Structure 1
Amino acid sequence: MSSEPDSIVRLARPVTGPAVTKTAATIMLGVMVSKARDRTGWTQKMLATRANISNATVCRLETAEAKVERRTVEQIMQALPLEASERATMLELLRRSTEPEWFQHRYSDVTQDYMQRLLGLESMALSLVTYDVRLVCGLLQTRRYTEAVIRTGLHLSEQNGDELELRLQQRLERQKRVLNQPDPPQCTFLMDESVLRRRVGPDDVMGEQMQSLREAADRPGISIRFVLLDHPLAGNEAAMAGSMAELRFGRGGLPDFIYTEGYLKAEYLSKPVQTARDRKQKIEEFERHQQLLLRLQGEACASPTESRRLLDNAIKRYQ
């Protein structure tokens, strides 16, 4: 899904260091255990027996489906034949995986459970492609546009409380961590053309948001394109369902995944899938959404130049 040619494969970000998130460290730890176990020729059950833990514990660790327990990892590391460098990397990942994420203290009450994996990984991506059918992508929303979106979703009794400000600060912190880091991901933001007209706030709020998008479209590493309303693909069932994002992490890094979001729920589709039971179905879902994102870019989107023109017209409309 990157705008780069498929023949160019970038190396992933370092798996250790201060920039590595708790979520990324948890997943990479599981990946390293799985690779070391496969190299040794052991099944999960064989490793569990040698480490004196349950088979389910090994499975959950390798798939990052449970909280990392230091004692469990140490027992696994003792059981596996590891190089000194592998052991050092695992210990560093273990340390980071037991620390909190950036949103788990101050913003814990306003961070939806289904978004936590995305928030913990998007700053680690090398490339990011998003598609939003109803609103401006959260990573590009201005403060006032975000406030208008959040305010309409709160009960009247909540609109003057702490929750609104916390949600705003969380959104701004997220944007900073992804787009304002020293080496931000290559980003392609696809948005439905209706976003240009869907009123979220008064003219000054909408105009400010359109101007912000126009400025972002000129930033290196960012492409903003609009899916045209008169293209049949814009009515695709999956395209109309909600937001999508594909994150790629590069060679030797985290598994690439696609995030799909509906109302108060989300799904993560990755390849390869480590759960054999639903491997085929989930790989098909991953590929179907991946192809949809490719088709939207190739068939249904205005060009970057035309998308800038659409933004220029929107800015005039709200003046």
Structure 2
Amino acid sequence: MSSDPIPIIRPARPAAGPDTTTTAAVIMLGLTLRNLREQAGLKQAQLAKLIHISTPTISRLETGEGTPQRRTVEAVAKALKVDTAAYDLISVLFKRTEEPEWFQHRFNDITPGYLKRLLGLESMAIALTLYDVRLVSGLLQIPEYAACVIRTGLHLSEWDGPEMELRLAQRVERQERVLGHADPPQCIVLQDESVLRRRVGPDEVMRAQMVHMRELADQPNVAIRFVLLDGMIAGNEASMAGSMARLQFGRGGLPDMVYAEGYGKADYLSKPVRSPEERARPWSQKDNDYERHLQLLLRIQGEACASPARSRHMLDEAIRRFS
């Protein structure tokens, strides 16, 4: 197995295909309209004036913030005089934005608001780099391990209630949508060495979790690596704050994204998509934050991690320890 299986030139999943999520469609619709506006030689303010709306409304539409309105999208398409092929793509993407995400029918009430964007995008990624500090990554957790984690966050009265069942069912479905995909993403999973020892459940649960990770580590699309306790970069304040993930969507797809999770909140930092006039200006703070988090992830992977081979050996030791 390659120690760095991230594909460099792999094409994106179809932008308007049957597996396109609502969140991805909102972002792709905005990018499509932005590209068409730039091809027409218009600035946001000029387009806004043409269709009698505010410039911030155009900006939110192009960056995929909020739910796009049909009348706004139709007005933009008309003002830009798009051809039939572009209009058909816009129509397909907009129709998808009106549909609910996979988790909204059954799991919406138990899904934290800060997590919803990630759940709507991760199945579209062609490559994922995950970093978890304290627990096994959620995409790798077996139901028994996940139940122990979820239970500690619930009130005693909820242990045997629907909340527990729903949270477990959501985690299983999330894993299936990402790792069970017919063409699964290439995954690099970086986890703190402490997860090999931190007890979440009884020995049989811990052993089963380690066995599961050991089996995943032999799959061609998964590389599991442990951040060593004596890896100096792991002491960086940002690296200890919570989970991080890098989502890569491939050539012709959404901009790459870094997800940084804190306590009860998360930041979504997208790779800058900059027009010629924007490239002439200094990067914004948000653009700098993307680069800073990305570099931290790359440094953790490059400077503080055991190799995939050594990490598999560490899993073998953990299996024996809990046997």
Do the two structures share a fold, i.e. TM-score over 0.5? Answer: yes
Residue 295 in structure 1 maps to residue 299 in structure 2: yes
Cα deviation for residue 181 of structure 1 reads 0.7
User: What TM-score, normalized to structure 1?
Assistant: 0.95
Residue 316 in structure 1 maps to residue 310 in structure 2: no
Deviations 1:126-160 (A, max 9, x none): 11001000000000000010000000000112222
Query: What corresponds to 2:53 in structure 1?
Result: 53
SS at match of 1:46: helix
Query: What corresponds to 1:113 in structure 2?
Result: 113
Letter aligned with residue 316 of structure 2? D
Letter aligned with residue 302 of structure 1? A
- Map residues 59-78 of structure 1 onto 2, 5 A cutoff: 59-78=59-78
Q: 1:282 aligns with which of 282, 286, 289?
A: 286
Cα deviation for residue 56 of structure 1 reads 2.4
- Map residues 195-214 of structure 1 onto 2, 5 A cutoff: 195-214=195-214
In terms of mean alpha carbon deviation, does 45-54 or 71-80 score higher?
A: 45-54
C-alpha separation between the residues in 2 aligned to 1:103 and 1:279? 35
C-alpha separation between the residues in 2 aligned to 1:283 and 1:63? 13
Query: What corresponds to 1:14 in structure 2?
Result: 14
Provide runs of 4+ in structure 1 moved above 3 Å: 273-279
Query: What corresponds to 1:124 in structure 2?
Result: 124
Query: What corresponds to 2:223 in structure 1?
Result: 223
Deviations 1:197-244 (A, max 9, x none): 011111111111000000000111100000000121121111111100
Residue 172 in structure 1 maps to residue 172 in structure 2: yes
- Do the aligned residues in 1 keep the contact of 2:131 with 2:243 (CA within 8 Å)? yes
SS at match of 2:64: coil
- Do the aligned residues in 2 keep the contact of 1:51 with 1:78 (CA within 8 Å)? no
Letter aligned with residue 41 of structure 2? G
SS at match of 2:169: helix
Unaligned runs of 5+ in 1: none
Cα deviation for residue 3 of structure 1 reads 2.7
Cα deviation for residue 283 of structure 1 reads 2.0
SS at match of 1:90: helix
C-alpha separation between the residues in 1 aligned to 2:230 and 2:61? 47
In terms of mean alpha carbon deviation, does 73-82 or 172-181 score higher?
A: 73-82
Q: What percentage of residue pairs aligned between the two structures are identical?
A: 59
Query: What corresponds to 1:133 in structure 2?
Result: 133
Cα deviation for residue 280 of structure 1 reads 2.3
User: What TM-score, normalized to structure 2?
Assistant: 0.94
SS at match of 1:223: strand
- Do the aligned residues in 1 keep the contact of 2:188 with 2:222 (CA within 8 Å)? yes
SS at match of 2:129: strand
C-alpha separation between the residues in 2 aligned to 1:274 and 1:261? 25
Letter aligned with residue 4 of structure 2? S
- Do the aligned residues in 2 keep the contact of 1:52 with 1:75 (CA within 8 Å)? no
C-alpha separation between the residues in 2 aligned to 1:143 and 1:187? 20
In terms of mean alpha carbon deviation, does 45-54 or 129-138 score higher?
A: 45-54
C-alpha separation between the residues in 1 aligned to 2:98 and 2:283? 29
C-alpha separation between the residues in 2 aligned to 1:214 and 1:228? 17
Cα deviation for residue 278 of structure 1 reads 9.8
Letter aligned with residue 311 of structure 2? S
Residue 232 in structure 1 maps to residue 236 in structure 2: no
Cα deviation for residue 274 of structure 1 reads 6.9
In terms of mean alpha carbon deviation, does 234-243 or 176-185 score higher?
A: 234-243
Deviations 1:53-96 (A, max 9, x none): 33222111111111121222111111112122111111000000
Cα deviation for residue 279 of structure 1 reads 4.6
In terms of mean alpha carbon deviation, does 269-278 or 195-204 score higher?
A: 269-278
Unaligned runs of 5+ in 2: none
- Do the aligned residues in 1 keep the contact of 2:6 with 2:187 (CA within 8 Å)? no
SS at match of 1:258: strand
C-alpha separation between the residues in 2 aligned to 1:4 and 1:214? 17
Letter aligned with residue 69 of structure 2? E
